[in-house]
Amino acid sequence: MRVILTGGGTGGHIYPALALARYLKKVNPGAEILFVGASGGMEEKIIPESGFRLITLPVRGLPRRLNLHLLKTFYMLGKSSTLAREIIEEFRPDFVVGTGGYAAAPIILAALFQRKKVIIHEQNVIPGVTNRLVAPWVFKVCLSFEASRKYFLKRSNLCVTGNPRASEVGHLEKKTARQILNMDVNLPFLLAVGGSRGAARLNQSMVEFLLRASGNKNVQILYITGEIYYEEIMARLKASKIMEIYGGRLQVRPYQQEMSLALAAADLVITRAGATTLAEITALGIPAIIIPSPNVVHNHQMVNARELSRQEAAVVIEEENLSGQALQEEVYALLQNPARLVQMQENCNKLGYPEASGNIYKLMLL
């Protein structure tokens, strides 16, 4: 089996493709896999470090305003389209799998013109522009949420598979994860994370929350600040003696390399509503307090979060309403109500697809 995986620009497009690639090599060691991404994108670092071959195209996203950059973008798109055709002709893939983003467009279009089987994957409830445009002509459209169906005109090629990233976390056990993280295996565990770069408003509210909750000895906390905020946050926490008060019950880190490990250990998570994160927490069945980022296209984080809230699998706090007090009230209300946490966990599990990669692989075998 020869497979091209394409998509990039953000981790939300890269990590599902990478998870699927690892699954394909696991179940079919002879599979030949090639990644195609965008020059200058995150994929240039992430994919080679993961041991896969990557070819990049000089493609760029369309600017939101008419300017000289638009002309350059169209020129680069034309150049990328020519290179994409050459890649398809040379590699001769059995399947091209696109995970979204402008990086995927040239190679998907080239594959369609050469009548190759194309599978696209949508991570969010609201589909991206590239996926929506090519959906009617591809072999299969893989969805992460049932609620996405209504956004596609053609329904016969839609399949709800889940997000492949979920396949890499569903097997982790809570006790084992806590032992690896050097956390108490019995004490309720709260994980707070705002993404690899962090989130200013969330960090401000978390510091306030830690101050307000310092007298509560019935919770342990792993707090991921994001790399650019870590030094500032640690200075504030040390100045207020919070680290001494919490002792071993509080760990503060700039970044967690194995985020799936931290998620598996948690009883409750405070997080953004990125597609990859939601795939992981639903695969593991973790109740969540979600603060959607307001700074994303189509406000898709809010739409993602509301889907979990509608299923009573998560609590949503809009960023404009976020504060240390709001976090304290929600955290305490949940941790002091074990029955509600159990129900949220069950509801979350119903939304999860821990076999997502396998679901997509089965489509390749049809």
- pLDDT tens digits, the chain, 366 residues: what are they? 999 999 977 778 899 999 999 999 999 999 999 999 999 888 999 999 999 999 999 876 655 555 556 555 555 666 788 999 999 999 999 999 999 888 898 999 999 999 999 999 999 999 988 899 899 999 999 999 999 999 999 999 999 999 998 988 767 788 999 999 999 999 999 999 986 666 889 999 999 999 999 888 899 999 999 888 999 999 999 999 999 999 889 999 998 877 888 999 999 999 999 888 899 899 999 999 999 998 877 788 999 999 999 999 999 999 999 999 999 999 999 999 999 999 999 999 999 999 999 999 999 998
- 130-155 as b/e, with b when 16 or more CB fall inside 10 Å? bbbebbeebbbbbbbbebbeeebeee
Relative orientation angle of helices 105-113 and 68-91, to the nearest 10 degrees: 50
pLDDT of residue 10: 77
The three-state secondary structure class of 277 is: helix
Helical ranges in the chain per DSSP H: 11-27, 43-49, 68-91, 105-113, 129-134, 174-180, 200-212, 230-239, 242-246, 259-265, 275-284, 300-310, 324-335, 338-351, 356-364
**How many angstroms separate the CA atoms of 188 and 307, rounded?**
26
pLDDT of residue 58: 87
| Domain range annotation of the chain | 2-160, 174-351
Would you say the CATH fold of 174-351 matches that of 2-160? yes
Pick one of 3.40.50.2000, 3.40.140.10, 1.10.10.10, 3.90.45.10 as the CATH number of 2-160: 3.40.50.2000
pLDDT of residue 35: 98
Pairing of strands 189-193, 140-143: unpaired
pLDDT of residue 275: 87
**How many angstroms separate the CA atoms of 99 and 355, rounded?**
17
pTM: 0.88
Q: Retrieve residue 123's tokens.
A: 């991570």
CATH 3.40.50.2000 holds for 174-351: yes
DSSP letter string, 301-353:
HHHHHHHHHHTTSEEE--GGG--HHHHHHHHHHHHT-HHHHHHHHHHHHHH--
